[in-house]
Chain A
Amino acid sequence: MAALRKGFIDTGKIAPVLPALALADFSLKSRTGFKGSGAASWLAAQGLVLPDDPNQACTDAQGRMVARLSWGEFLLLGDFAGLEKAWSYESAPMCFPLPRQDSHAWIVVSGEVAPKMMAKICGIDLRPQVFPKGAIAQTSVARLNAIIIADQIGGRGGFHLLSDGSTSQYLWDCLVDAMLEFEGAPVRSEALSKETHGQTDAQG
């Protein structure tokens, strides 16, 4: 039986070896989110270590990433199924789950030249000296709203890009186009998730 869940991106030709700049579709990996004025306290009560400030991300012992998008909004990259099960209107007042698994595509860019490539489609300075690991930008990428999170991916500097799922093919195509001059190429998601720190690099 065919899998019921599907990513939306036609990733095209996949590079046989990890290129200097690699692009991968992480969209089928687990992620979720919580939002609301009670989100921080409920998540903390569940034992999650939260970044102190908005636009900061941290990684827990299992290699999962907790990204704080505002005082009351959290994007969780990795397997947080336990949290989703524990949640209810009654147990988590003013804390609401977000369907991040389906609302946002998750695309990963890895390679030291990634900031230079991103500068072709995004106006934020993403150079590591000003946008280090764990920094978050909620901004426009190729005219799309996007969340950019700096991380070490595949043992190299890179970014998690989360953007509206319906425009994921468009964004993918923009990225592939922007990567051409750097000899970047799409790779399988496994090529980037297996080498990252901890269990994974925020993979589900």
Chain B
Amino acid sequence: MTRLPAPWGQWIDRGQDISFTFEGRKITAHPGDSVASALLANGQRLIGRSFKYHRPRGIFSAAGWDANTLVQTGSKPNVNAERLLAVDGLSVSAVNYAGSLDRDWGRLVEKFSKLLAAGFYYKTFFTPRIAWKFWEPVIRHMAGLGRVDEKAPHAYYDKEYLFADVAVVGAGPAGLSAALEAARTGASVLLIDEEPEIGGSLNWARDGSDDLKNRVRAEKGIEILTGACVQALFDDNWLEIVKGNRLYKLRAKAVVAATGCYWLPMVFRHNDLPGVMLGSALQRLLRLWGVAPGKRAVVATANDEGYAVALDLADAGIEVAAISDLRPHRDEGRFAQEAGKRGMRILQGAAPFEAHEKNNRLASVDLVQAASGQFQERIDCDLLALSAGRIPASGLLSHAGAKFAHEAHMDLPSALPAHLFAAGSVNGRFSLASALADGALAGALAAKDAGFAAEIPPSVGRDALGVTHPWPIITHPKGMEFVDLDEDVQVKDIQASMADGYEHIQLLKRYSTSGMGPSQGKLFWPHVQRLMAKAKGVTPAEIGASTIRPPMGGETLGHLAGRAFEPVRLSAMHKRHLELGAVMMPAGAWMRPAYYGSDERAIDQEAKAVRDGVGLIDVSTLGGLDVRGPDAAVFLERLYTWTYAKLAVGRARYVLMCDQTGVVIDDGVAARLHEQHFYVTATTSGVDRVFRLMQWYNAQWRLRVDIAQVTSAYAAVNLAGPKARDVLARAGTDIDIKKEAFPYLGVRQGLVAGIPVRILRIGFVGELGYEIHCPAQYGEALWDGLMAAGQDFGIAPFGVEAQRILRLEKGHIIIGQDTDALTHPFEIGMDWAVKMDKPFFAGQAALRAHLEKAPVRKLVGFALENDKGPLPKECHLVIEKGDIAGRLTSVVRSPSLGRVIGMAFVKPEQAGLGNLFDIRVDGGAMVQARVVALPFYDPKSQRQEM
């Protein structure tokens, strides 16, 4: 490992060594290294292979602005090695090669590059049609980078909200200045940067210093978030930020985008070879990580900053063979002057024409006269630094809907939405002094926008002229001048796309795939804009700015998905169910016992226990609503289909709710506990909707009523079976539970086993039953008391599955299973629960209309004629003369009746008792069923009223 001496390499801790592997080879690094910098320090210049032609690729930006250095780390594909911190023990491998990274036979594709022009796949593979069968697997195999590890362990990702008065994105000079100015007003400031340290270019540029960084670190009003990528700026200053495995959601009152610029590359033949890199990349490698990436360099520039790169290279001991300046006239900048004074070889008006490759890396470069294209000379070198200008990193501004104008050969913001401010080079202020001044202005404006008293400093003008060259593109007759490294798009591909008629940027992007790769055209978009303008004979301004969409960097599905919050509701008796060996099933967010025992044979035994003795089921999930007030009865009259005005205190009545179209949406029971108080139950899944509707209607009707959702406040059990009364008596109660004193549909309040309860005598399962509701904190004690009391009577806990059988035997419907989104009460035999002569109830008008029309279907009970053959399932179709005539809603083999029974929607003409109809079962076979009367079990309802 070779490193430059300090002060080069300010981010690495030379006192410690760590190691990781790359392609199985041990790489030694220092804490603070990126994987890419460590690879380079170990002489590993080849890091990846390009997507289309499998060309050798290495560090180009050293800042993660391109996709050259995507690697795989364990199960994670496509991690940018330039942004990946080197840690001990990491296993890293390259992506997208066949054979070995050094000898990739996938590069054979490059030989056929002439056949693979832009849009070739739109023109090539579809004729003859059969050809696609051959090509599809080939293309699928070649597509994509990295490997998806289907056995990857589940990683922990989560989210966190952040809050700030002013968010400053980018901790370069302008961002630091903005943060300081905003904090001065008392605003809370969050300063975010994707680098591990604040400072931006102050950390690696030739004129950097630490003073400003130290002032920001000392400011208490500034919170710093480094190593964090702002992926998006959404409406209302909502910033999505990714750091490590966490996605932050920042809501700021005002936002300063001080996102800086990318360095603009040059376009020439083989401008992608390892060794060709942005000038800023070289400065980063030298100053941040102390890595000298070569021995002999050529600097190709079109501005003063290229000269700063050359000076840095020379200071680091790297020979600068020449500075090739694209411009015809000498730069008067201070770095150019210093380079001149130091006797550096400056080739004015020269440009790189072709880079030559040896052993997968740069070996030499041919220079030409930029004006004439005449060959000038070939220079042996292993480094070629590029400095053609800047590209404002305007992604976040674009997300927010900023407008841009083409100025000084760049797209600079011309209009910003409210609460958003741009500062520094992204806003056209390039010198350090003007970036600092612009940052201070933006910081003050943002603080003022956030409601703080701020003194607004004077604005400074843009100093963008001369920064960016208008045409840093040197074409070559043999092509391979890349205008998109991600997708291997060449100059000729842009020209071909234009020739094919794709003249609009949004179409051309997609057709040529330029800008469609992982780096989204960050570095090469201006070149595409220039090439399009030239081909079309217009100015780049007329081509317009590209729309940049989120996310800005790597955003994984893990970031979006994690941490999943999936609430689980447990009843007060949950622990007891588990102790009794319950198999739990979800019912909405609730967990309910499906049955108790090791297999489903338990279900029939549980049903039998209820029919023959006594069973206990946890019905805590039933919705509970307290409807109270002087107008409570009036409210229920209007809301439900039946009548409640005259329901006596101490009595309960079925409730059926329709929506305004007359569709059945819920049912339950209303128990009158007081003249002013109805305790109303609703279905487990329907109670939230019922509660919302009750509040909605109450707000409109303005009755003297209050509604409280008390589902979770009450635990509830149904004690059911011929021995239920005995168990209740044994448990101990102060309520007179004799049949005459507490009849069917009675409601009582009192104590059971010392616990305050509300008891409803209702019978969903068709047996003598007590639905006992108690405050939830007593739920477990109530369960224990009843189970203990029932021991001598053979009490058995039963689950949802047994209850489904029992209720079907009794012909009780389940809303949502035996009804659908069109079901009205008259087609499910609920006429008895609808009082059409009431003045009003929700859905009444629609039901009147239903009554005037001929019915289209009817819910009937059925029994299978032959239940030895294939059995139907719920939702199997009723078929008549080859057409669909209805469907099954419920079907079970009844343990009490010893046959297969169910309910089905059939045509009205099929609904007569004794009629036969056909059901199509799995596999297409038909079975016959006969319409029978409901209920199947205990038709005179003697058992529930005993």
- Tell me which of A96, A119, A125 contacts B160 (CB under 8 A): A119
9 additional A-B residue pairs with CB within 8 Å, beyond A165-B713, A166-B776? A4-B755, A4-B778, A7-B777, A123-B249, A123-B251, A164-B569, A165-B776, A166-B571, A170-B567
Say whether B710 faces chain A, with CB atoms less than 8 Å apart.
Answer: yes
Q: Within the assembled complex, what's the spacing in Å between the Cα atoms of A89 and B251?
A: 46
Of listed B565, B712, B754, residue having the most chain A CB within 10 A: B712
Query: With A5-B778, A96-B626, A103-B713 given, is the CB distance from A167 to B163 under 8 Å?
Result: no
- Tell me which of B162, B570, B590 contacts A169 (CB under 8 A): B570
For residue A103, which residues in chain B have a CB less than 8 angstroms away from its CB?
710, 712-713, 776
Q: B-facing mask of A54-98, CB < 8 A → 1, else 0? A: 000000000000000000000000000000000001000110101
Say whether A102 faces chain B, with CB atoms less than 8 Å apart.
Answer: yes
Shortest CB distance A94–B (Å):
6
Say whether B572 faces chain A, with CB atoms less than 8 Å apart.
Answer: yes
For residue A171, which residues in chain B have a CB less than 8 angstroms away from its CB?
567
- Tell me which of A28, A36, A129, A170 contacts B568 (CB under 8 A): A170
List 23 interface pairs A-B (beta carbons < 8 Å), by A numbering.
A4-B755, A6-B777, A36-B629, A93-B630, A94-B629, A98-B710, A99-B714, A101-B777, A102-B775, A103-B710, A104-B712, A119-B160, A123-B251, A124-B161, A125-B161, A129-B188, A142-B565, A143-B565, A164-B569, A166-B569, A166-B570, A166-B590, A166-B712
Shortest CB distance B20–A (Å):
25
For residue A20, which residues in chain B have a CB less than 8 angstroms away from its CB?
none
Query: With A5-B778, A99-B713 given, is the CB distance from A174 to B565 under 8 Å?
Result: yes
Is B567's CB under 8 angstroms from A96's CB? Answer: no
For residue B161, which residues in chain A have a CB less than 8 angstroms away from its CB?
119-120, 122-125
Say whether A113 faces chain B, with CB atoms less than 8 Å apart.
Answer: no
Q: Within the assembled complex, what's the spacing in Å between the Cα atoms of A86 and B755?
A: 22
Say whether A17 faces chain B, with CB atoms less than 8 Å apart.
Answer: no
Query: With A35-B708, A170-B567 given, is the CB distance from A89 to B676 under 8 Å?
Result: yes
- Tell me which of A96, A100, A102, A104 contacts B628 (CB under 8 A): A96
Is A4's CB under 8 angstroms from B163's CB? Answer: no
Is B706's CB under 8 angstroms from A36's CB? Answer: yes
* Closest residue of B by beta carbon distance from A7: B777
For residue B856, which residues in chain A have a CB less than 8 angstroms away from its CB?
none
Say whether A127 faces chain B, with CB atoms less than 8 Å apart.
Answer: yes
Q: Within the assembled complex, what's the spacing in Å between the Cα atoms of A76 and B675?
A: 26
Q: Within the assembled complex, what's the spacing in Å between the Cα atoms of A2 and B714?
A: 20
* Closest residue of A by beta carbon distance from B709: A103
Is B249's CB under 8 angstroms from A142's CB? Answer: no
Say whether B57 faces chain A, with CB atoms less than 8 Å apart.
Answer: no
For residue B714, which residues in chain A have a CB less than 8 angstroms away from its CB?
99, 102
Say whether A121 faces chain B, with CB atoms less than 8 Å apart.
Answer: yes
Say whether B159 faces chain A, with CB atoms less than 8 Å apart.
Answer: yes
Is A167's CB under 8 angstroms from B567's CB? Answer: yes
Say whether A137 faces chain B, with CB atoms less than 8 Å apart.
Answer: no
Q: A-facing mask of B697-715, CB < 8 A → 1, else 0? A: 0000000101010111110
For residue B589, which residues in chain A have a CB less than 8 angstroms away from its CB?
167
Interface residues of B in 543-591 (CB under 8 A from A): 563, 565-572, 574, 589-590
Q: Within the assembled complex, what's the spacing in Å between the Cα atoms of A85 and B416?
A: 62
- Tell me which of A93, A102, A130, A142 contacts B713 (CB under 8 A): A102
Say whether A191 faces chain B, with CB atoms less than 8 Å apart.
Answer: no
Q: B-facing mask of A2-30, CB < 8 A → 1, else 0? A: 10111110000000000000000001100
Say whether B780 faces chain A, with CB atoms less than 8 Å apart.
Answer: yes
Partner-B contacts on A (CB < 8 A): 2, 4-8, 27-28, 35-37, 89, 93-94, 96, 98-104, 119-125, 127, 129-130, 142-144, 164-167, 169-171, 174, 177
For residue A129, which residues in chain B have a CB less than 8 angstroms away from its CB?
188
For residue A123, which residues in chain B have a CB less than 8 angstroms away from its CB?
161, 249, 251
Shortest CB distance A8–B (Å):
6
Say whether B215 faces chain A, with CB atoms less than 8 Å apart.
Answer: no
Say whether B318 faces chain A, with CB atoms less than 8 Å apart.
Answer: no
Shortest CB distance A130–B (Å):
8
Shortest CB distance B916–A (Å):
47
Q: Within the assembled complex, what's the spacing in Å between the Cα atoms of A133 and B854?
A: 64
* Closest residue of B by beta carbon distance from A173: B568
Say whether B402 faces chain A, with CB atoms less than 8 Å apart.
Answer: no
Shortest CB distance A76–B (Å):
15
Say whether B674 faces chain A, with CB atoms less than 8 Å apart.
Answer: yes
Q: How large is the interface on B (under 10, 10 to 19, 20 to 34, 35 or more residues)?
A: 35 or more
Say whether B677 faces chain A, with CB atoms less than 8 Å apart.
Answer: yes
* Closest residue of A by beta carbon distance from B628: A96
Shortest CB distance A134–B (Å):
19
For residue B704, which residues in chain A have a CB less than 8 angstroms away from its CB?
37, 94
Shortest CB distance B294–A (Å):
43
Q: Within the assembled complex, what's the spacing in Å between the Cα atoms of A143 and B564?
A: 10
Is B158's CB under 8 angstroms from A120's CB? Answer: yes
For residue A96, which residues in chain B have a CB less than 8 angstroms away from its CB?
626, 628-629, 706, 708
Is A35's CB under 8 angstroms from B712's CB? Answer: no
Is A144's CB under 8 angstroms from B567's CB? Answer: yes
Q: A-facing mask of B844-868, CB < 8 A → 1, else 0? A: 0000000000000000000000000
For residue A98, which residues in chain B have a CB less than 8 angstroms away from its CB?
708, 710
Shortest CB distance B756–A (Å):
10
* Closest residue of A by beta carbon distance from B708: A98
Q: Within the assembled complex, what's the spacing in Å between the Cα atoms of A6 and B775?
A: 11
Q: Within the assembled complex, what's the spacing in Å between the Cα atoms of A132 and B704?
A: 36
Q: Within the assembled complex, what's the spacing in Å between the Cα atoms of A125 and B713?
A: 30
Q: Within the assembled complex, what's the spacing in Å between the Cα atoms of A144 and B676?
A: 31
For residue A124, which residues in chain B have a CB less than 8 angstroms away from its CB?
161
Query: With A89-B676, A102-B712 given, is the CB distance from A121 to B781 under 8 Å?
Result: no
Of listed A94, A124, A142, A165, residue having the most chain B CB within 10 A: A165
Q: Within the assembled complex, what's the spacing in Å between the Cα atoms of A154 and B704?
A: 42
Q: A-facing mask of B609-642, CB < 8 A → 1, else 0? A: 0000000000010000010111000000000000
Q: Within the assembled complex, what's the spacing in Å between the Cα atoms of A93 and B705?
A: 11
Q: Within the assembled complex, what's the spacing in Å between the Cα atoms of A85 and B620?
A: 27
Q: A-facing mask of B283-303, CB < 8 A → 1, else 0? A: 000000000000000000000
Closest 3 CB pairs of A and B: A103-B713, A99-B713, A166-B569
For residue B249, which residues in chain A have a CB less than 8 angstroms away from its CB?
123
Is B781's CB under 8 angstroms from A6's CB? Answer: yes
Q: Within the assembled complex, what's the spacing in Å between the Cα atoms of A164 and B776?
A: 11
For residue B677, which residues in chain A have a CB less than 8 angstroms away from its CB?
89
For residue B571, which residues in chain A have a CB less than 8 angstroms away from its CB?
166
Interface residues of B in 713-732 (CB under 8 A from A): 713-714
* Closest residue of B by beta carbon distance from A171: B567
Q: Within the assembled complex, what's the spacing in Å between the Cα atoms of A143 and B563?
A: 11
Q: Within the assembled complex, what's the spacing in Å between the Cα atoms of A122 and B565?
A: 11
Is B775's CB under 8 angstroms from A99's CB? Answer: yes
Q: Within the assembled complex, what's the spacing in Å between the Cα atoms of A6 and B159?
A: 33
For residue A2, which residues in chain B have a CB less than 8 angstroms away from its CB?
781
For residue A170, which residues in chain B have a CB less than 8 angstroms away from its CB?
567-570
Shortest CB distance B249–A (Å):
7
Q: Within the assembled complex, what's the spacing in Å between the Cα atoms of A142 and B569?
A: 13
Q: Within the assembled complex, what's the spacing in Å between the Cα atoms of A5 and B781?
A: 7
* Closest residue of B by beta carbon distance from A115: B163
Is A89's CB under 8 angstroms from B706's CB? Answer: no
For residue B754, which residues in chain A have a CB less than 8 angstroms away from its CB?
4
For residue A177, which residues in chain B have a CB less than 8 angstroms away from its CB?
563
Is A99's CB under 8 angstroms from B567's CB? Answer: no
For residue B755, which residues in chain A have a CB less than 8 angstroms away from its CB?
4
Shortest CB distance A74–B (Å):
13
Shortest CB distance B589–A (Å):
7
Is B706's CB under 8 angstroms from A94's CB? Answer: yes
* Closest residue of B by beta carbon distance from A142: B565
Q: Within the assembled complex, what's the spacing in Å between the Cα atoms of A26 and B874?
A: 46
